[in-house]
Structure 1
Amino acid sequence: MSERRPLLAMQQVTQAYSLPRTALFSPPGSFTVLDSIDFDVCAGEAVGLVGESGAGKTTLTRILTGMERPQSGHVLFDGTDIWSADQAQRASFRRAVQMVLQNPRSSLDPRMRVGTALLEPMRSLRIEGDHVKRLHEVLDQVGLDRSALERFPHEFSGGQLQRIAIARALMPNPRVLVADEPVSALDVSIQAQVLNLLKDLVRDLNLGLVFIAHDLSVVAYTTSRVSVIASGRIVEVGQPVELFTRPTAPQTKNLVDAVLTVESGLSGTAL
């Protein structure tokens, strides 16, 4: 764990959903998706979250970004619980925590020029200032030419579109990026470029990065600390190389054993 104060943190967060009644007069059941979760990220730090499908990653992400309120526990941004914060603090949180989604092609309006799409967060969050200057700053940060502003999404490659999606997340000048499988839809040759971009942004802008992925090699390359989630609980936390080469939790061992590598072929026992 980092000795610095976390910028964004979940403390003992539990989330459960109601199930349909099985009989007319029977009480509705419930299904616990997250069970006493602790998770945090500091400024200038990239942390990973890995787990099998259905482990609770999506629900954790929704709660971490304020899209869903937990049944119990706290979500703290800069030391303040976002669900007991005042309106101004909530607005600050919405600007400060931004998401980068898996498929940029589906998250961009094909009828909208890139420049207009990048301005959407500024309008929806009611951020004032010189928007054109901010556009140019962000394009420089993600390595895109200013001519991109006049083009439509279909005119870009997958890697360029993901850079545009990252640029849109950067427009409100956030302090935390939550990247949900940001390179899984890209060719392997392009993945490294996007991962290097994210690492540079963490370093240069002192961003906190939450990186969610299935690919353990990608997580190991991008992050300095990883949490493994299984059945709604964090079962192991540690540095990626240590965690993936000498796992202690059975669930982590299962994830590592499922990785197919050149060295181990179909046995999948090495990363």
Structure 2
Amino acid sequence: MSAPLLEMRGVSQIYTLARQTLFAPKPRLTVLDKVDFAVGQGEAVGLVGESGAGKTTLTRILTGLEQPQEGQVLFEEQSVWAAPPARRAAFRRGVQVVMQNPRSSLDPRMKVGTALLEPMRSLRVEGDHVARMHEVIGQVGLTPAALERYPHEFSGGQLQRIAIARALMPGPRVLIADEPVSALDVSIQAQVLNLLKDLTRDLGLSLVLIAHDLSVVAYSTSRVSVIASGRIVEAGPPMDLFRMPKAPETKALVDAVLTVEAGLAGTALA
């Protein structure tokens, strides 16, 4: 792989918790422990782990919402937190995130068109915003009529397409999808995953797909990292992880994936 577009090097994040008793020292919780993670230009990579593994904290650090206590976050080989204001602005435009529940990330009082324009204004992106809005709404498979409607008028799958469209508005180079299908019906999940794959290919985007289900990231990415207790315990091509998992945590994730044939019987992937 060429030089990574977005990278974490040796990132650790430790939170100080409340005291259990008056004179006891404050306990410390290590959420990330010397994590290395990277995505190259046009690459689709996955991060998978069970709840509490550190995926959310890693997402917040990758998107610049949280500064790591140790290690570096690099965008285009430059430190995000040591960069001058112009580079920080380029990073905020260049890395966008799609959250798990689109209903909670869209203002119910705001029409879809207005919601799509918000990141352009807040990030001070120049250009024809209205033309860009019509372009991205078509890229996610919706018609311009959707721009005049409110979020409550859409299904969950349509709302996730709108959330993806909003993330595309500033013209990002990296799209981070944090559990993008876990809140959707099974019949809709494949549609959204196919959309993400098509956008990655057609727009030359880099995709970071974060999930707790190994089968979801295996379907959509070419390289997967497994995180457990704040550490990357295994990484490689998804089918290698399916067929020859080495870490106990990876084996547990593989065992939790049901095949179509064995699903009704309640048995896991062999």
Deviations 1:222-250 (A, max 9, x none): 01000000011000000011111210111
Partner of 1:80: 78
Deviations 1:106-161 (A, max 9, x none): 21111111100100101111112111111111112111111111111111121111
Q: CA separation in 1, counterparts of 2:103 and 2:269?
A: 34
Normalised TM-score (structure 2):
0.96
Partner of 2:185: 187
* Aligned counterparts, 1:34-183, within 5 A: 34-183=32-181
Deviations 1:136-195 (A, max 9, x none): 111121111111111111111211111110000000000001101111111222111111
Partner of 2:208: 210
Q: CA separation in 2, counterparts of 1:23 and 1:108?
A: 41
SS at match of 1:54: coil
Flag the 1:132–1:246 CA change in 2: closer, same or farther, 3 A. Answer: same
Partner of 1:238: 236
1:10 aligns with 2:5: no
- Structure 2 counterpart of 1:191, one-letter code: Q
Q: CA separation in 2, counterparts of 1:146 and 1:254?
A: 44
> Percent identity between the aligned chains?
74
Q: CA deviation at 1:55?
A: 0.6
1:267 aligns with 2:267: yes
Q: CA separation in 2, counterparts of 1:189 and 1:52?
A: 23
Q: CA deviation at 1:259?
A: 2.1
Q: CA separation in 2, counterparts of 1:65 and 1:109?
A: 21
Q: CA separation in 1, counterparts of 2:130 and 2:269?
A: 51
- Are the counterparts in 1 of residues 49 and 213 from structure 2 also a CA contact under 8 Å? no
- Structure 1 counterpart of 2:197, one-letter code: K
Q: CA separation in 1, counterparts of 2:55 and 2:140?
A: 27
Flag the 1:261–1:89 CA change in 2: closer, same or farther, 3 A. Answer: same
Q: CA separation in 1, counterparts of 2:254 and 2:198?
A: 27
RMSD between aligned alpha carbons? 1.2
| Residue-pair matches, total | 268
Q: CA separation in 1, counterparts of 2:85 and 2:116?
A: 25
- Structure 2 counterpart of 1:70, one-letter code: P
Q: CA deviation at 1:23?
A: 4.5
Q: CA deviation at 1:49?
A: 0.5
Misfit runs of 4+, over 6 Å = none
Structure 2 gap ranges (5+) = none
Q: CA separation in 2, counterparts of 1:16 and 1:154?
A: 39
More displaced 10-residue stretch of structure 1: 210-219 or 75-84:
210-219
SS at match of 1:263: helix
Q: CA separation in 1, counterparts of 2:137 and 2:206?
A: 20
- Structure 2 counterpart of 1:11, one-letter code: R
Q: CA separation in 2, counterparts of 1:217 and 1:72?
A: 32
- Are the counterparts in 1 of residues 213 and 253 from structure 2 also a CA contact under 8 Å? no
Q: CA deviation at 1:266?
A: 2.2
More displaced 10-residue stretch of structure 1: 219-228 or 26-35:
26-35
Flag the 1:186–1:26 CA change in 2: closer, same or farther, 3 A. Answer: closer
